[in-house]
């Protein structure tokens, strides 16, 4: 294993990249919610997350969409209808999040 002296070495790891995709207070919870209940509308996500502002939820959803982990489907109707679901890339990340759940269940104190 290569020894790193600088922080730049950590930034080049797959671990660092994965953390950059799921960092944020609500991103993993959003992904988990979509895994369980997809497709999900904005208001449903807000109810599931509890005390999250529209701005924060909207920002996290935009970042997840930009990273191609979720898909945003807009239906041309009145009132506007928008649904979110996992992309194939997002579904592949669920394996990792499932392992986090398993670890937490096995090591809960």
Segment 39-44 shows an average pLDDT of: 93
Q: Is the pLDDT of residue 2 over 80?
A: no
Q: Are 82 and 46 in contact (CB under 8 A)?
A: no
Segment 73-96 shows an average pLDDT of: 92
Domains detected in the chain: 7-107 (1.10.10.10)
Q: Are 34 and 90 in contact (CB under 8 A)?
A: yes
| Long-range pairs for 76-82: beta carbons < 8 A, 24 or more residues apart | 81/41, 82/41, 82/42
The pLDDT-based confidence of 4 (bands split at 50, 70, 90) is: low
Q: pLDDT above 70 covers what percent of the chain?
A: 93
Q: Which pLDDT tens digit goes with each residue over 9-25? A: 777 888 888 888 888 88
Which residue in 53, 49, 45 sits closest to 70, CA to CA? 45
The predicted model scores a pTM of 0.83
- The tally of CA atoms less than 13 A away on the side-chain side of residue 109 is 0
């Amino acid at each position: 294993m290569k020894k790193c002296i600088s922080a730049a070495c950590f930034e080049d790891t797959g671990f660092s990249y994965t953390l950059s995709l799921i960092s944020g207070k609500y991103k993993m919870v959003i992904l988990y919610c979509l895994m369980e209940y997809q497709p999900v509308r904005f208001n449903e996500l807000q109810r599931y997350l509890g005390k999250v502002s529209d701005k924060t939820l909207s920002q996290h959803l935009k970042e997840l969409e930009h990273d191609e982990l979720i898909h945003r489907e807009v239906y041309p109707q009145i009132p506007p209808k928008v649904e979110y679901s996992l992309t194939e890339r997002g579904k592949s990340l669920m394996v990792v999040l499932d392992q986090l759940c398993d670890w937490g269940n096995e090591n809960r104190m």
